[in-house]
Amino acid sequence: MEFMINRTNAWISSIALFNRSKGSFLLFVFNYLHLRTIAANYLLENKKTDDGHFYHLLKFFDDLILLGYEPYVCKQSEPNSLLSHIELFIFFDYSAITQYQIKAIKNVNNAAKLILCLAENPNYLFPLSKRLSSSFDKIYCPYEIDHAHEKTETAFVYKSIPSFTKQDCGEQVVLETFDSSIINSNLHSFSNRSNYELRRKLIEVFSNLDFLNFQWFGRGWYTKNTEKFNRQNLKYIKADLLSLSRLSSKSYAKYAGTIDNKSILHMFKTTCVIENLSFPNNYYTEKLFEPLEYGCIPIFLKTNSITNKIFEYISSSEFSGFMASNLIELLESVIYLSAMEIADTKKIASRFRNELNSFLELSGTNTNLNRCYGEIAKLL
């Protein structure tokens, strides 16, 4: 489903929802084609992904359907006049947005509201210019940026954190269990605020603890000789050459390859959560919540200042030990929980998820999608 918004074939990867009673549209604009594909498959064919990464977005669409919206397939041959019926554009991040595209939309439909939902770290995206930011009626963002925005608590939890069983993920029951893990790609940055070197150090330390049943996963750690100089692998080759923290053969012995989704965490008592970057303040991702979907306890290493309702709640609860200020605290939590049976750690993870969900509901926690839902409800 795509809209062509001007005569020069500038395309936006989009999902359209149509309200038949009003004859109007919502348009959701994605930077990433795979995200649009997942949303389209879910809306049009009810194909559910077994990756909890996008669960919040899919449940958001469910609620919009209950409001009377339905998916709409936009034909490439349809005229740009269709844009005049769109009441609300919702953009997810801004790396693919240009002033030219915004101008094209405004030329066709100046009455439409434009909302921007930010989730990606600004370091990964093109700078948001003041001129472009002023084009949006609302910008929702959980972390600190230089532009006027409405502060949210998180971009990733819409209503609640779900629970996926092995059967939900299409897996056979696996008897083997592990104490802890970490999932991260082989990357490097010259920024002193990146955490890539820190994660390498963690892998090296944990891999050399003989009493800890540890495995780690991620892209770019092994490349076949025939693919070594593939353009896609250049960033991994760069990371191997430039990283100061070298991994020993013992660490590579604990490497378990790449994964398509995080359902592998069903087999682990804990997983270590370290964000790629330690800036800006209040920046964190779905890495904190996803392990709970699979009954795995996340041990989160705080490398930047995060002050919001969710973190304040966790820090004052019985689960405060799942927040670590340094690698020593993280290691202590992992070792403590590794002494338990996995059935017991899964009970703790379930209780943590349930109580966090109760808090999210009772506290009226603002997320990017909650705020979008409020704007859409106003239209009705």
What is the pLDDT of the chain when averaged over all its residues?
A: 88
In this structure, the answer to whether residues 355 and 369 fall within a common structural domain is no
Q: Which residues sit opposite 182 in a β-bridge?
A: 216, 272
In this structure, the answer to whether residues 354 and 281 fall within a common structural domain is yes
CA 95 → CA 32, 92, 103, 132, 286, distances in Å?
A: 10, 9, 16, 12, 19
**CA-to-CA distance for 354 and 359, rounded, in angstroms?**
9
Q: Is residue 250 part of a domain?
A: yes
In this structure, the answer to whether residues 209 and 198 fall within a common structural domain is yes
Q: Which residues fall within 8 angstroms of residue 357, CB to CB, at 6 or more apart?
A: 160, 161
> What's the pLDDT band for 7 if we cut at 50, 70, 90?
very low
**CA-to-CA distance for 340 and 281, rounded, in angstroms?**
34
**What average pLDDT does this structure show over 16-39?**
87
Read off the pLDDT of residues 288-301 as tens digits, 9 standing for 90 and up. 999 999 999 999 99
Read off the pLDDT of residues 143-202 as tens digits, 9 standing for 90 and up. 988 888 999 999 999 999 999 877 666 665 566 899 999 999 999 998 889 999 999 999
Place of tokens 């997983």: 271
pLDDT at 9 over 50: no
CA 241 → CA 172, 235, 275, distances in Å?
A: 39, 10, 22
The pLDDT of residue 215: 97
pLDDT at 63 over 60: yes
**What average pLDDT does this structure show over 235-259?**
91
Q: Is residue 372 part of a domain?
A: yes
Identify which of 158, 153, 126, 129 has the alpha carbon closest to the alpha carbon of residue 56.
Answer: 158
The pLDDT of residue 377: 92
**CA-to-CA distance for 131 and 135, rounded, in angstroms?**
7
**What average pLDDT does this structure show over 320-342?**
96
pLDDT at 2 over 70: no
pLDDT at 135 over 70: yes
Q: Is residue 175 part of a domain?
A: no
In this structure, the answer to whether residues 133 and 217 fall within a common structural domain is no
Tokens coding 103 = 């101008």
> What's the pLDDT band for 6 if we cut at 50, 70, 90?
very low
Q: Is residue 170 part of a domain?
A: no
Element (H, E) at 309: helix 309-315
In this structure, the answer to whether residues 228 and 332 fall within a common structural domain is yes
Terminal Cα-to-Cα distance of the chain (whole angstroms): 24
In this structure, the answer to whether residues 282 and 145 fall within a common structural domain is no
Q: Give the chain's domain count.
A: 2
The pLDDT of residue 83: 81
Q: Is residue 173 part of a domain?
A: no
Q: Is residue 130 part of a domain?
A: yes
In this structure, the answer to whether residues 226 and 291 fall within a common structural domain is yes
Q: CATH number of the domain that 239 lies in?
A: 3.40.50.2000
The reply to whether omega before 122 is within 30° of 0 (cis) is no
**CA-to-CA distance for 198 and 195, rounded, in angstroms?**
5
Read off the pLDDT of residues 87-112 as tens digits, 9 standing for 90 and up. 999 998 887 677 878 888 888 888 99
Q: Which residues sit opposite 355 in a β-bridge?
A: none
Q: Is residue 169 part of a domain?
A: no
In this structure, the answer to whether residues 349 and 374 fall within a common structural domain is no
What domain range is 44 assigned to? 2-157+365-379
**CA-to-CA distance for 132 and 99, rounded, in angstroms?**
6
Place of tokens 């804990």: 270
> What's the pLDDT band for 34 if we cut at 50, 70, 90?
confident
CA 51 → CA 27, 43, 88, 180, distances in Å?
A: 24, 16, 28, 20
Which position has the higher pLDDT, 313 or 124?
A: 313
The pLDDT of residue 254: 96
